[in-house]
Amino acid sequence: KQEVTQIPAALSVPEGENLVLNCSFTDSAIYNLQWFRQDPGKGLTSLLLIQSSQREQTSGRLNASLDKSSGRSTLYIAASQPGDSATYLCAVRLIFSNFGNEKLTFGTGTRLTIIP
């Protein structure tokens, strides 16, 4: 069974700093890995998706990397801003599942606070 872990559960950094969020998974037979953002009282918004054949994806100040062999992904946020404060979740989609490829396994998230 795929397990996805995100450590730390919470992180506080001063505004302007660069930071890295971590995600690890136990089954390397993944189809893709996705990073989401969740604001309080809101649903999840997709940030970046990395296919299993890719090593990284970038969007603005965000960069996500994937190392399948070690079962790790990182989300790098450059020049952090107070608006980046949110919970960040990673999710992996397995190549094989009982009914198809649709099932995602989520980590429990890292709650990020950017201190002005």
Partner 1 sequence: DAGVIQSPRHEVTEMGQEVTLRCKPISGHDYLFWYRQTMMRGLELLIYFNNNVPIDDSGMPEDRFSAKMPNASFSTLKIQPSEPRDSAVYFCASSPTGNNEKLFFGSGTQLSVL
Binding site for partner 1 (CB under 8 A): 32, 34, 41-46, 49, 89, 91, 93, 98-104, 106-109
CB closer to partner 1 out of 80 and 109: 109
Residue type, 16: G
Q: What distance in Å separates the CA atoms of residue 28 and residue 5, rounded to the nearest whole number?
A: 13
Q: What distance in Å separates the CA atoms of residue 17 and residue 24, rounded to the nearest whole number?
A: 23
CB closer to partner 1 out of 18 and 108: 108
DSSP label of 82? G
CB closer to partner 1 out of 13 and 44: 44
Q: Which residues are bridge partners to 76 per DSSP?
A: 20, 63
Smallest separation (angstroms) from partner 1 to the CB of 7: 13
Smallest separation (angstroms) from partner 1 to the CB of 53: 14
